[in-house]
Amino acid sequence: QPELGKPMRNCYSLPGPDFTYGMYMHKRDGGVPEAIGHWDAVKAKAHPRKRVMPRDFVAMGRAAVDEGCTTAREFALYYNYMDIRCKDKGILRYGGKAPPGMTFGRPPRPSTPIFDIMQHRYKELWMEEQRARTRVQHMVKKKVGKIGEVRENRTTFLRTHPLPVKEESFWHPRRFEKVQAPHVPSPDQRQLFWAS
């Protein structure tokens, strides 16, 4: 039973003073002298088999077209000759060797030469750029002025240069000549006609 006024004790007994809590590290158990005197390098594990990536048919198709392949037989021969594989994008994510010549991080900015600063070289370069930009803008304005002028279309051309008047021809075929309408008698002539 628990003692009066005290919490209930744990029923487990603790291990002795030589017990180490947590994980025991064999390689890093030398303390500070070993850490200072030795570099703890982990050897890479040898992979039993190399991962074979699938063929990249898109890249092979582009390369075949660049080489001038047009028929299915030529494409098949090119695919047998050129074996392009997909790139493994997770090679560094899941552990692996970095490609040769690969640099991590951003390259450092080149140092500013103090001699150019003392001679105001950057001011001169900036002034040259401004002059060149002004020249280009001036040339563009000249071209826009020529292009922006109103071009003559057919209507404005005909207003300034009217067409010559066609001379009327006096010869007409007989069938197109105006035929005189039959004479319609006046009412007085009608009365005379009926009276006779």
Over residues 132-142, the pLDDT tens digits come to: 999 999 888 87
| Separation in Å, CA 142 to CA 40, 148, 149, 188 | 72, 10, 11, 84
Over residues 64-110, the pLDDT tens digits come to: 999 888 899 999 999 988 888 888 776 555 556 666 777 777 878 88
pTM equals: 0.26
CA 152 from chain centre, in angstroms, equals 41
pLDDT at 65: 92
